[in-house]
Amino acid sequence: MNTDISVDGLKRAISYFYLVAYAPPEEISALKKTSKPLRQALAKQARMTMTKYFAEVTPEVCHRIVAFHQHSRHPDAEMVQKLTAKAKRADSNPEKAGAYQEVMSEIAALPQRAKPDNRLHRKKGCRFCATPCQYGYFTLVSEPHFDLLQKMLEAEVQKPKEAQDVVQVAWNFAASHLVKTQVSRNYIATRAHLGNLAYCLLMLAMAKSRFALPEKQITAFQAANQRAIQP
């Protein structure tokens, strides 16, 4: 990897490519526009133009994404090349965004992470994830502010029980995280991706806190979460 690309810059670039994976293809131009400050900042940090920066960083991003999903430091070279080819133009138009998202879904289904026993936080609820594992790596590299989630949950439990909506709290936190990640006032993601990301963030928060909800509560939350995803 080019030494001008910092570790922080690489993490933020990985996050950007996950944002492209979560966006409705027809909204890819809007995502590219709203994320321009992020992409400019990454290029400036590395003292490059945006074009040169993404030409340099994209192969490394794709290598690391495939490495995570194959749970290996030496991922399959053909798979990395396949993803890189799609990623290079993924944010250029809806058709190319869709093609990139198809490969990302294919990679997410690899058994090294997708099988229940191989999931990131399998003992903290990941075995109940509806679409493993499209969110785990993103949640790790994008560094969510879980203090905010804790405050949001604490405020929610102060409400009368009939007025509490923990699913909505998790969705609001996921939306706020996307806004922070793409440096804009609005998030751009499909309803399904937002809901499943919310679940993943909650599971990661639990893992970091070393607190595990009873399985009955996790499955009840996930069932309500999946109902909320439906249009």
Q: Residue 25 — pLDDT band, cuts 50, 70, 90? A: very high
pLDDT value of position 186: 86
In a domain, 177, yes or no: yes
pLDDT value of position 53: 96
Range of the domain at 164: 116-229
126 and 92 share a domain?
A: no
In a domain, 2, yes or no: no
Question: pLDDT per residue over 133-186, tens digit each?
Answer: 899 999 999 999 999 998 998 899 899 988 989 999 999 999 999 999 987 888
pLDDT value of position 168: 95
pLDDT value of position 100: 98
123 and 186 share a domain?
A: yes
Please state the domain count of the chain.
2
Counting residues of the chain whose pLDDT is more than 70, the rounded percentage is 96
pLDDT value of position 126: 83
126 and 141 share a domain?
A: yes
pTM comes to: 0.92
pLDDT value of position 2: 63
What is the distance of C-alpha 136 from the center of its chain? Answer: 7
217 and 124 share a domain?
A: yes
Considering 52, 86, 114, which residue would you say is the last residue of a domain?
Answer: 114
29 and 53 share a domain?
A: yes
Structure-model confidence comparison of residues 130 and 79, the more confident one: 79
Q: Which among 182, 174, 143, 162 has a CA at the least distance from the CA of 38?
A: 182
50 and 70 share a domain?
A: yes
Q: What angle do CA 97, 183, 69 make, to 5 degrees?
A: 50
pLDDT value of position 206: 83
107 and 192 share a domain?
A: no
Question: pLDDT per residue over 52-72, tens digit each?
Answer: 999 999 999 999 999 999 999
| 136 CB neighbour count, 10 Å cutoff | 21
Considering 82, 114, 146, which residue would you say is the last residue of a domain?
Answer: 114
Q: Of the ranges 90-94, 123-127, 225-229, which one carries the lowest mean pLDDT score?
A: 123-127
